[in-house]
Structure 1
């Protein structure tokens, strides 16, 4: 569908999503064409416009149209006859209508939080390894009845990270994780279970709360028997055209408007037997959390990973983001 067909089919969203330089050119074009049209109508009988002088020109009619459209009312030009007053009424009505439309469009463009998705950064890669903390339970792993569930290493998991680079908070964040894969000639979408960081102290039968979005999120999908990725390898990812899709919804604290950001990972962006480099530490002097934003997408092979995450120190030249948690 071309731009003109899209404009006719959904003009409001087309105009709202238009870039600012296109909006500026469109408003300038509308301003010139609109006033030129009515200037021509006024020019038919310029002598019914008071203040034009003995030798009126088309320019006098054009500037009279601008003053009428903008309701400036300097008092120099003024309509006198029935013909000019009729044209003034039509122009005033049309200019009021179009100005209201353009004003609403510009306010919507300024107010909407669409640009916030650029401050929500996803790691450029995802990892699959057996070092991720996975919550295990009786139902999934056939554990003894006395086992109440908990986080354990040694289970296969797919992980990626998210960070909010803006100090402004997002309210009521929600996350959806899906797997898109080819099935014959069609594509199938699977909803994926996930863990956000380590969440303890709440029964797993209840919906898990979302942690503070100012902290980096580590999203981990447990690859157990209920996962569509169970028993798959790298070749299956490539041949099946797998794509992991993450969607985050939230409410902007300032405007109280909803926003959404999306990211996806294909087979070439999923690193097997890798682990993410730690990016969160605490300043020993101020006690504030520090986030190494440059480490968001950094991974190392498992055989090169340190035994403890704290053994990776932050470089003095790195990009640090200080957080003050409420």
Structure 2
């Protein structure tokens, strides 16, 4: 009789892999994460902040001279005018500085064919490096920035008898922007009939999405009608779908005559149902009407007859 087989020991269940929640549609393209451009030097030099830009130029400048100083040291008698019998590292380094900058004080000068060839290569490389650095610096200076301020929250309340989503923009530079245009989308997680989870972008029609001139502030309105992707959704629905209101701004800087772009997103907790923005136009005694930018993000309870008052 065959011996009874011992049952295999139970295999411990694998530890569940934690799911990482995304932080918004712009998480993967954060402009502050400039280090990811290191494989594209031109993109890196345009994306890095100004202190980093000058730091990279300084580091590259020093590394280049250190490299040529080591090459000049291969021929200890190749540089004439040095203090000792052979060229020291510091003398080779400063000779490289003079060569790349075309300074030529006259104290140091090449005295061998090898050093003459190195000077020729470094001079040619210096022309290319200076041209590249000048072009990148000019590109950074000539690049126009939007400086468009978006409201931290979006409000939903009744307007002209129809529930309406509103958010604000402000021109921080107070300089005229021509042909301003705003596009708004609802980004939300949805599942297909087959059960696939997808991040979808639903366009949101605005009452006025273009302005020939944009100088101070602009309140954008999206009527929640039968065609709106927000129709029938509550704040709980938006939170469950990790929804966010995505806004994209474009226009032309009237001073530089260059296009400018800006974008922003408001997550689901920032969509305030039953709230409205405070009026920014205030009456001042002896001064008439003026804008109070302290009210840019302030809200107050406003009538809202939708399915959700949270």
Task: Please tell me the TM-score bracket, short chain as reference.
Answer: 0.7 to 0.9
SS of match in other structure, 2:211? coil
Aligned-partner Cα distance in 2 for 1:274–1:112: 38
Alignment partner of 1:162 is 2:169: yes
Q: Is the 8 A contact 2:206 2:221 kept in 1?
A: yes
CA distance in structure 2 between the partners assigned to 1:65 and 1:209 by the alignment: 57
Q: Distance in 2 between matches of 1:299 and 1:3?
A: 35
Alpha-carbon distance between aligned partners in 1 of 2:292 and 2:264, rounded to the nearest angstrom: 21
For residues 111-153 of structure 1, give each alpha carbon's deviation from its aligned partner in whole angstroms, at most 9, with x where no partner exists.
3234x3xx321111111111x2xxxxxxxxxxxxxxxxxxxx1
In structure 1, what is the equivalent of residue 44 of structure 2?
A: 14
Whole-angstrom CA distance in 2 between matches of 1:34 and 1:232: 60
Is 1:296 paired with 2:296?
A: yes
Aligned 8 A contact 1:46 1:61 in 2: no
Matched, 1:99 2:130: yes
Tell whether the 8 Å contact from 1:194 to 1:222 is kept in structure 2 after alignment.
yes
Task: Report the equivalent of 2:56.
Answer: 26
Equivalent residue number for residue 140 of structure 1: none
Distance 1:4 1:188, change over 3 A: closer
Unaligned stretches of 5+ residues in structure 1: 133-152, 197-207, 304-326
Q: Secondary structure at the match of 1:179?
A: strand
Picking from 185, 209, 213, the partner of 1:178 is 185
Cα gap change, 1:253 to 1:50, in 2 (>3 Å):
farther
Deviations 1:172-231 (A, max 9, x none): 2111111112221012211111124xxxxxxxxxxx741531131110001111112222
Query: Structure 1 residues 253, 282: closer, same or farther in 2, change over 3 A?
Result: farther
The residue number in structure 2 matching 1:187 is 199
Pairing 1:274–2:304 present: no
Contact residue 46 and residue 52 of structure 1 kept, 8 A: no
Q: In the comparison of the two structures, how many residue pairs are matched?
A: 266
RMSD: 2.5
How much does 1:282 deviate? 6.4
Q: TM-score, normalised by structure 2?
A: 0.77
Q: How does 1:233-272 map to 2 (within 5 A)?
A: 233-272=234-273
Whole-Å Cα distance in 2 between the matches of residues 257 and 193 of structure 1?
Answer: 27
Q: What is the distance in 2 between the residues matched to 1:58 and 1:164?
A: 55
Q: Give the conservation status (yes or no) of the 8 Å contact 1:38–1:62.
A: yes
Alignment partner of 1:189: what SS?
strand
Q: TM-score, normalised by structure 1?
A: 0.73
- Partner Cα separation in structure 1 for residue 176 and residue 34 of structure 2: 36
Higher mean Cα deviation, 101-110 or 69-78? 101-110
Separation of aligned partners in 2, 1:110 and 1:40:
35
- Is the helix fraction higher in 1 or 2? 1
